[in-house]
Amino acid sequence: MPNTAAVPEAPAERLTLDRIAVVHTRKGASPFTSLAIDRLDVPAGRSLGVSGPSGAGKSTLLHVVAGLESPSAGSIRWGETRLETMGEGARDRWRRAIVGFVFQDFHLVDELSIFENVLLPARFASFRASAEARARAGSLIERVGLADPQRRAAVLSRGERQRVAVARALIGRPRLLVADEPTASLDAENGAAIADLLIEATREIGATLLVAAHDRALLDRLDRELRLVAGRPVAEDAA
């Protein structure tokens, strides 16, 4: 399996979705198509905004791209890597190496410090977080504008929490940063700051950025926008 992308210094790859369909079949209900995308191409290092009303399939698209959910049909490729053919363990490894994830509701571990939250993904694979990872966690915390790395996550404000979440998403030098409504739980000021962070930080490391959002200000700053309605693209305007 081509796993060259696991090397931290490897560049981002082109993301290609081909005839993707996600169909939910529930007992006693007729099959429901939550996502149907004929073709989607995101060149390496570019950003894509996904917009659309609630329930339009934005999160589903993000989950499919991040390897959290397998499409019912179609193929999804990261460079030469075909996600839909991978086993679960391989997809876990791929996700760990390639993807950084930012959630709407931050999902920090409240009982841990800022530093430990940021460093957490570094402990998924190795017993000891390397000195390099620790140094990186420290500089990322500084980069996202947080003062005291030893503060507990539980005491942070919403804006601070999302900053921690962004730093956590960046700790593994992701090639693909996926953010699901990253500003929806924040006020305008904090939302703008997080948008800045996401865009600048991904540009700095040359990663591809995928953002699902309602936030017009954020969407307008991305390279392209994909608008979904009922799981289908309705317009795609290049910025």
Partner 1 sequence: MNPWSMILADLRSLKRVGAVIVLLVAVAVAVGIALGAQERAFRRASAAAADDFPLVVGAAGSPTQLVLSAVYLRLEALPLMEGEVLRRLGADERVAGVAPIAFGDVIHGHPLIGTTADFASRWGRLKPIEGRMFAEEGEAVVGAAVKIAVGTTFEPSHGHAGGEHHALGEEDVDEAKHVHAETHYTVVGRLPATGGPWDRAVMAPVENVWETHGLGNGHEGEDHIGAPFDAEKLPGLPALVVKPKSFAAAYQLRAELRGKGLAALFPAEVLVELHQLIGDVGEILKIASAVDDGLVFLAVTTLFVTIGGLRRRRYATLRALGAPRGYILATVWGGAAILVALGCVGGLALGWAGARLVSEILGAQSGLVVPVSLETPDFLWAGAVFLAGSLFALVPAFLAGRGRIVDGLAG
Closest to partner 1 by CB, 19 vs 123, is 123
Measured CA to CA, the distance from residue 67 to residue 92 in angstroms comes to 8
Question: Binder to partner 1 among 7, 125, 135, 235 (CB under 8 A)?
Answer: 125
Amino acid at 215: D
For residues 24 to 63, the per-residue mask of contacts with partner 1, x marking binding by CB under 8 A and - elsewhere, is ---------------------------------------x
* 233 forms part of the interface with partner 1 (CB under 8 A): no
Number of chain residues interacting with partner 1 (CB under 8 A): 33
Min separation Cβ 106 and partner 1, Å = 9
* 103 forms part of the interface with partner 1 (CB under 8 A): yes
**Residues 152-181 close enough to bind partner 1 by CB under 8 A:** 168-169, 172
Min separation Cβ 60 and partner 1, Å = 8
214: tokens are 């309602």
Closest to partner 1 by CB, 70 vs 75, is 70
Query: Which residues, in sequence order, are bridge partners of residue 77?
Result: 16, 82
Order across the sheet with 81-82: list the strands: 32-42, 15-24, 73-78, 81-82
Measured CA to CA, the distance from residue 11 to residue 5 in angstroms comes to 7
* 92 forms part of the interface with partner 1 (CB under 8 A): yes
Question: Binder to partner 1 among 15, 20, 56, 129 (CB under 8 A)?
Answer: 129
Crossing angle of helices 188-205/158-170, nearest 10°?
10
* 78 forms part of the interface with partner 1 (CB under 8 A): no
* 111 forms part of the interface with partner 1 (CB under 8 A): yes
Closest to partner 1 by CB, 116 vs 225, is 116
The pair phi, psi for residue 36, each rounded to 5°, is -145, 105
* 68 forms part of the interface with partner 1 (CB under 8 A): yes
Of the candidate spans 103-111, 192-200, 216-224, 228-236, the one that interacts with partner 1 by CB under 8 A turns out to be 103-111
Measured CA to CA, the distance from residue 231 to residue 239 in angstroms comes to 22
H helices of 99-225, in order, are 114-119, 131-143, 158-170, 188-205, 216-220
Using CA atoms, how far residue 141 sits from 74, 82, 86, 200, 239, in Å, is 39, 33, 33, 15, 31
Residue written as tokens 């075909």? 82
Min separation Cβ 110 and partner 1, Å = 7
Residue written as tokens 């998403």? 169
Residues of this chain that bind partner 1 (CB under 8 A): 63, 66, 68-69, 88-89, 92-93, 95-97, 99, 101, 103, 107, 109-112, 116, 119-121, 123-129, 168-169, 172
